A and B are shown apart, each in its own frame.
Chain A
């Protein structure tokens, strides 16, 4: 059975801190891993990762995939209160385009 596990489940930090969110997975015929940010409404896309060791970066956010160890991390540097959200990780397998999500990490950034 495909599985996606995110850790920690929740995290409280202060503005300016750096955080690392983890996503490990077990999936047959892995295709891609995606990260989403969810504030009050719909999840919004952050990154898609398909190859090991290639960092994706957008501003203060970055992510990398390790296909050998079956995990990905999402880093946020110099956190701001606007980074407070649930961060979701999802994986898809070849041939189906079904996305299996983890339970998410709830991040709260205090001013």
Chain B
């Protein structure tokens, strides 16, 4: 398996609280991604990074921010969690020109 670790794997949080999900890679890949997966919608891109401190928005970025201060870590923050952000979140990495490898996912429930 590609060296990608997501933490936490499961989280329950209350509406209005901030939440940070972490993606850590040991592959030294340049590109990192955050997706959310919901029934009927497949995988939707939230944000991605093409290098340290270089990030760009995906198709569903509202309510989310990201940071990448080191090659190996890509953080996804929900500034004020809402019930619509209940989802399974996947991190992925890619070296460019090849396939993307996925982490095991984080199941987030906002109550």
Q: Which residues of A contact B (CB under 8 A)?
A: 6, 34, 41-45, 48, 88, 90, 96-104
Contact partners of B100 in chain A: CB under 8 A:
34, 45, 90, 99
Evaluate whether A101 and B48 lie within 8 angstroms (CB atoms) in the complex, with A34-B99, A41-B105, A42-B90 already known: no
Taking chain B's interface residues, is the majority helix, strand, or loop, or is none over half, making it mixed?
strand
The total of interchain contacts (Cβ-Cβ below 8 angstroms) comes to 52
Contact partners of A90 in chain B: CB under 8 A:
43, 100
Given contacts A42-B103, A90-B100, 10 further A-B contacts (CB under 8 A): A34-B100, A42-B105, A88-B43, A97-B31, A97-B96, A98-B33, A98-B45, A100-B59, A102-B42, A103-B41
Interface size for B (C-beta < 8 A) is 27
Contact partners of A6 in chain B: CB under 8 A:
42
CB of B99 within 8 A of CB of A48, answer yes
Q: How far is the CA of A41 from the CA of B59 in the complex (A)?
A: 22
Q: CB < 8 Å: which of A43, A101, A103 contacts B40? A: A103
Q: CB < 8 Å: which of B43, B50, B99, B103 contacts A101? A: B43
